[in-house]
Chain A
Amino acid sequence: MPFLIFAFAFLILPTLNIIIGSFQDATGAFTLENISQLSQPIVLSAYLTSIELSLVTAVAGGLFGFLIAYAIVLGGLPRWLQSAVITFSGVASNFAGVPLAFAFISTLGRLGLVSVLLKSVFGIDIYQAGFSLYNFLGLSLTYIYFQIPLMILIITPALEGLRSEWREAAENLGATPLVYWQRVALPILLPNLLATMVLLFGNAFGAYATAYALTGGTINLVTILIGNQITGDVLNNPGLGNSLSLGMIVIMALSIGGYTLLGQRTSRWIK
């Protein structure tokens, strides 16, 4: 079947090549040298930053996205608003990379609308105060822009799946709204919530274009390091490129696997 050949050639083969290449030296002999190179300070710090960035944006974007999803599904907002938000989220979750970077430069860059406004109206110079769009904080704010809509898209069906009879049954048995949330709604949502955050983690972890476009490749992330390996900017060492990639694949596989497993849990509850 041509499709399988295609998938093998352009998807499975490169992956296998990376995995095997991680354990081979230039002559093809087995070695753990590439893996041990991951302990270089620059590599370690890249992994650390990537993980931190993904964690922070997954949790922050996830919580904020959850609150918005809650507001539009259960918060008593008009019905049309819900579909508007969902449609917008569909667009915004794909609004990443170069254009997103420009949007944030226009907003929070040195000449950005908000930066200028804060300075001229409130006299606050955020750049003097140590803020920069081109470091961790700025990148986090930018990533959250595509994290929130993804959260909304995935968690909305779960919130809609919270049946009103559960709340009524709980209240009927004496539960206050708070107790209902503690004992019924949150425990039911929790696996889904965690699953989605794990997915958001992977989503940020694999991101390259946004970070590159915003920082010009100066921030030390794993994806940027791999990109530099390809363009040959720094430490051109194919063995390291392989092991860096392998590390990413492992972390991504763990997060996608976690997402799938956690998701199965709730789908078993809610047939």
Chain B
Amino acid sequence: MAFLELNDVRKVFALQTAVDNFNLHVEQGEFISFLGPSGCGKTTTLRMIAGFEHPTTGQIRLGNNDVTARPPNQRNMGMVFQSYALFPHMSVADNIAFGLTIARTPARETKKRVGEMLALIKLEALADRYPYQISGGQQQRVALARAIVIRPQVLLLDEPLSALDAKIRDSLRVEIRAIQRQLGITTIYVTHDQEEAFSLSDRIVVMNAGRIEQVGTPFEIYNFPRTAFAASFVGTLNVFPATVVDAAAGRIMVDNIALTTEAITTAGVGQQINVALRPEMISLNESERHDGDNQLTCVVENITFRGSIVRVQVRLGNQSLLVDEFNRPDLNVPQTGHQIVLSFPRNACLVLG
């Protein structure tokens, strides 16, 4: 029995289905990210967990209780909003104390816990300021403190960093993760920034059009994406259609070129599949070539220097392929218009359903 469960959750608004067939089990203390493009239903799902939206059908369980119908003010979940949502007429300390005051926590206890929180977010000096007197990053730290001071069972964050600039975003990200580990709070974090999801999460839920595409650790999601969407949404990817020639041996045809992959279990002979290839798995270098690797002869179309890597765009029949090479001084940079030979190991080919 997991700590937080969403079973067959579905949410229909007047005009569309925002979330459908949503099943997720979250363990206590886990850090889960919802990752997906705009409008895919991340916020809606989070708001259903918080109780601000009611699932059209399905069930939400928390610590073995069905909380689907429980109003938000009885769920004991802390929420952090994208726009901070601090109460403008209260000082930083009063904002943090709000949840405790409502629960009629004794004044001494409240003061002590607010003090601890202020120390945790390193804002002791600003306790008496008002929200309009502190920066966005500081406001979001206060919002975080306000949400966790009530010792919530689940911490919910909806794109908490997207209104901040890059530097603060990075440092606050580290801080959020450190605090979450320290307190061991079960956390759900909504983002459309894959880097954020990868660096923070125990597990990532990749969503698209209201459905879960894949749930897995960052490692699994990146290296073994299970759908074309999951594969293309994280990192850069070359995807092309192919025909299965011999499923067991992993032989396929792409534009009349024979390639070999790992054994294919999801499709039979003659069927169309999609094959994905990460640019960094392709090599231009003869010395990196091994027996049994796939080899392709292509024409160089374009070369872009991107600091630590060099991205080469090549043409293969009707397709355009991206190849990333580490930028080393001894790199043999190909020239536009020239023919080159690429290679990649058979396990670099991801067969997508």
Contacts and interface: CB of A to CB of B under 8 A. Distances in A.
Interface of A: 163, 165-166, 168-176, 179, 183-184, 187-188, 268-271
B132 A268 contact: yes
A174 B103 contact: yes
Interface in B171-199: none
Given A179-B102, A271-B132, A165 B89 contact: no
Contacts of B87: 166, 169-170, 184, 188
A171 B85 contact: no
Interface stretch (B14-22, B23-31, B75-83, B211-219): B75-83
28 contacts: A163-B83, A168-B50, A168-B72, A168-B79, A168-B81, A169-B81, A169-B85, A170-B87, A171-B52, A171-B71, A172-B50, A172-B72, A172-B73, A172-B75, A173-B99, A173-B146, A173-B150, A174-B99, A175-B73, A175-B98, A179-B102, A183-B98, A183-B101, A184-B87, A188-B89, A269-B130, A270-B88, A271-B132
B83 A165 contact: yes
Contact of A168 (B52, B78, B88, B150): B52
A183 B130 CA distance: 16
A170 B79 CA distance: 10
Interface in B90-142: 98-99, 101-103, 130-132
Given A172-B75, A183-B101, 6 more contacts: A168-B79, A168-B85, A169-B81, A172-B72, A172-B78, A188-B88
From A166, A172, A268, A271, residue with most partner B Cβ within 10 Å: A172
A84 B77 CA distance: 40
A188 B131 CA distance: 13
Contacts of B132: 268-269, 271
Nearest to B76: A174
B79 A172 contact: yes
Nearest to A168: B52
A174 B71 CA distance: 10
Contacts of A176: 73
Contacts of A168: 50, 52, 72, 79, 81, 85
B72 A171 contact: yes
A269 B76 CA distance: 28
A188 B74 CA distance: 24
A188 B81 CA distance: 19
A163 B33 CA distance: 26
Contacts of B74: 174
B77 to A, nearest CB: 7
A183 B71 CA distance: 19
A172 B76 CA distance: 7
- Chain A, interface SS category: helix
B101 to A, nearest CB: 8
Nearest to B146: A173
B83 A174 contact: no
B98 A170 contact: yes
Nearest to B80: A169
Nearest to A189: B89
Interface in B219-259: none
Contacts of B76: 174
B19 to A, nearest CB: 18
A187 B98 CA distance: 14
Nearest to B101: A183
From B75, B79, B103, residue with most partner A Cβ within 10 Å: B79
A168 to B, nearest CB: 6
Nearest to A265: B89
A165 B160 CA distance: 13
A173 B98 contact: yes
Contacts of B52: 168, 171
Contacts of A165: 81, 83, 85
Contact of B89 (A163, A170, A187, A271): A187
A176 to B, nearest CB: 6
Contact of A175 (B75, B83, B89, B102): B102
Contacts of B73: 171-176
A163 B83 CA distance: 10
Contacts of A173: 73, 78, 98-99, 102, 146-147, 150
From B73, B78, B83, B132, residue with most partner A Cβ within 10 Å: B73
A270 B83 CA distance: 13
Contacts of B78: 172-173
A172 B98 contact: no
Contacts of B72: 168, 171-172
Contacts of A271: 132
Nearest to B71: A171
A170 to B, nearest CB: 7
A169 B79 contact: yes
Contacts of A179: 102
A195 to B, nearest CB: 15
B89 A269 contact: yes
From A170, A173, A176, residue with most partner B Cβ within 10 Å: A173
Contacts of B150: 173-174
Nearest to B52: A168
Shortest Cβ-Cβ A-B pairs, 10 listed: A173-B99, A165-B85, A269-B88, A169-B85, A172-B79, A171-B72, A171-B73, A174-B102, A165-B81, A187-B89
From A179, A268, A269, A271, residue with most partner B Cβ within 10 Å: A269
A165 B82 CA distance: 10
A140 to B, nearest CB: 33
A261 to B, nearest CB: 16
A170 B50 CA distance: 12
Nearest to A191: B89
